[in-house]
């Protein structure tokens, strides 16, 4: 890619899928761009009495299969192109998971850590004040993303309910349990990653009990992927890693007997940073942050940030590696994707692999509609069913068309969206 603009990447990936599907020009033109975009200014009264203006966005990429769905990101470098890309990927993610939702994403240009609790609440309410006519359980359902939290979703849901004049919990998902949130949401993405790895192992005839994994990251996704790898699959985790904001560098943590993720959770802060001294005292070995990628393991799970498997780093992948499960969004560059494909490593693409989170968000809105809450076991059982059938649909497509799992995921997702548009008479 000449440019790292994320929306150009999302469009280039879509074009590749559209070519494989042989989509006609007018259908491509429809799907290459979001259907609707909202750009708005949010006035917020700061604690010192001054009024400060914030830039807000909401992009609704496509709602042929159901209401738009996707998080709201609070980030100082947020741009409309990032939001467009993320909204586009949400359309494919919901379609591949086969949940009746479309793609959306929102954002505010702000560093949330620079705001007081009261300022954050007023900014959240201000976002809803600008958007409430264009969102809702049957229109567009936002959720948390980078820089936003369940508490913020509770404020947003409250503001929406106040403006429409009735309690409407299904207008936002990712709410705290007790304020309309769903049990199982915390574990869902990481466990979903493990469900797709289990299905890949069945296909490749790998015994999960004899398998070893190396993970990058130790935030929400990586913690539960590591726990699930051991508790659901019976495998062993060789290492996890994290970024230390004070030292401005990352570390890989390994243990000769395998990583105990439940123990590490007790010495990890809310940002996913593991306490180095306590880990060393418990017998953990600390290496450079890049060490995870070269470990002699069966499964690599990048579950931290984007662009970690690149043309430079992917040659370090050990020859024992058979599966790469993309827990993170966009961890593999186009160049690395090609290297991995040529080496014959089975890659589970991000919008299939990490779809457990949005699936549980969907279950949260279903529970809100029913006004009845499911048990944690029921939620997680349903996530497993959805992830397994999504995986099977993509695997079948990959075998039938003799394409990679990433291309197959695009084929399945784009085809489902196009069919819904055709049935509704849009194209």
- Residues annotated as part of the active site: 105
Closer CB to ligand NAD, 253 or 410, in the complex: 253
Token couple for 258:
């395998």
32-41 — which CB contacts under 8 Å span 24+ positions?
Answer: 33/84, 34/59, 34/60, 34/61, 34/62, 34/84, 34/87, 34/88, 35/60, 35/61, 35/62, 35/63, 36/60, 36/134, 37/80, 37/84, 38/130, 38/131, 38/134, 39/80, 40/130, 40/131, 41/130
Strands 102-109 and 68-75: parallel
Closer CB to ligand NAD, 114 or 246, in the complex: 246
What is the C-alpha separation between 190 and 112, in angstroms, rounded? 25
Closer CB to ligand NAD, 88 or 273, in the complex: 273
What is the C-alpha separation between 391 and 382, in angstroms, rounded? 14
| Closest to 397 in 3D by CA, of 415, 421, 375, 376 | 415
What is the C-alpha separation between 72 and 61, in angstroms, rounded? 14
3-state secondary structure of 159: helix
Number of H helices, E strands in the chain: 14, 12
Closer CB to ligand NAD, 17 or 330, in the complex: 330
Q: Measured from the CB of residue 164, what is the shortest distance to ligand NAD in angstroms? A: 27
Q: Measured from the CB of residue 329, what is the shortest distance to ligand NAD in angstroms? A: 4
Closest residue to ligand NAD, judged by C-beta, is 219
First to last CA, the chain: 30
Q: Measured from the CB of residue 23, what is the shortest distance to ligand NAD in angstroms? A: 27
| Residue 287 zone, left/alpha/beta (φ > 0; ψ -120 to 50; rest) | beta
Closer CB to ligand NAD, 261 or 328, in the complex: 328
Q: Measured from the CB of residue 96, what is the shortest distance to ligand NAD in angstroms? A: 13
Q: Measured from the CB of residue 245, what is the shortest distance to ligand NAD in angstroms? A: 8
**What residues pair up with 243 in beta bridges, in sequence order?**
250
Give me the residues that bind ligand NAD (CB under 6 A), please.
189, 216-222, 241-243, 250, 272-273, 289, 303-305, 327-329, 354, 357
Closer CB to ligand NAD, 181 or 357, in the complex: 357
Structural contact between residues 10 and 89, judged by C-beta atoms closer than 8 angstroms: yes
3-state secondary structure of 383: helix
Q: Measured from the CB of residue 126, what is the shortest distance to ligand NAD in angstroms? A: 25
């Amino acid at each position: 890619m000449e440019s790292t603009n994320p929306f150009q990447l999302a469009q280039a990936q879509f074009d590749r899928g559209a070519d494989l599907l042989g989509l006609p020009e007018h259908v491509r033109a429809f799907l290459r761009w979001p259907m609707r975009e909202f750009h708005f200014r949010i006035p917020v009264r700061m604690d010192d009495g001054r009024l400060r203006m914030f830039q807000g966005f909401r992009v609704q990429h496509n709602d042929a299969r159901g209401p738009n769905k996707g998080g709201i990101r609070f980030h100082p470098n947020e741009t409309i192109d990032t939001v467009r890309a993320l909204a586009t990927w949400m359309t494919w993610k919901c379609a591949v998971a086969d949940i009746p939702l479309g793609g959306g994403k929102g954002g505010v240009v702000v560093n949330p850590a620079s705001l007081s609790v009261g300022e954050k609440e007023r900014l959240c309410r201000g976002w809803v004040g600008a958007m409430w006519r264009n969102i809702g359980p049957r229109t567009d359902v936002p959720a948390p993303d980078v820089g936003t939290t369940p508490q913020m979703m509770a404020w947003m849901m409250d503001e929406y309910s106040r403006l429409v004049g009735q309690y409407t919990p299904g207008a936002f998902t990712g709410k705290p349990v007790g304020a309309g949130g769903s049990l199982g949401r915390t574990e869902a993405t990481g466990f979903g990653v493990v469900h797709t790895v289990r299905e890949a192992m069945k296909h490749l005839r790998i015994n999960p009990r004899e398998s070893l994994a190396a993970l990058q990251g130790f935030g929400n996704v990586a913690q539960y992927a590591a726990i699930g790898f051991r508790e659901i699959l019976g495998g062993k985790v060789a290492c996890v890693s994290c970024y230390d904001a004070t030292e401005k560098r990352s570390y890989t943590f390994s243990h000769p007997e395998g990583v105990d993720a439940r123990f590490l959770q007790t010495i990890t802060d809310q940002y996913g940073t593991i306490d180095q001294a306590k880990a060393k005292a418990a017998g953990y070995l600390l290496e450079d942050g890049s060490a995870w990628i070269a470990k002699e393991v069966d499964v690599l799970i990048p579950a931290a940030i984007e662009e970690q498997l690149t043309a430079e780093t992917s040659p370090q992948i050990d020859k024992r590696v058979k599966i790469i499960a993309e827990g993170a969004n966009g961890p593999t560059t186009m160049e690395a994707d090609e290297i991995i494909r040529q080496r014959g490593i089975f890659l589970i693409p991000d919008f299939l692999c990490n779809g457990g989170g949005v699936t549980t968000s969907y279950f949260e809105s279903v529970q809100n509609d029913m006004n009845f809450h499911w048990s944690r076991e029921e939620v997680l059982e349903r996530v497993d069913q959805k992830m397994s059938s999504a995986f099977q649909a993509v695997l079948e497509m990959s075998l039938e068309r003799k394409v990679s799992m990433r291309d197959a995921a695009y084929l399945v997702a784009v085809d489902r969206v196009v069919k819904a548009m055709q049935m509704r008479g849009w194209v």
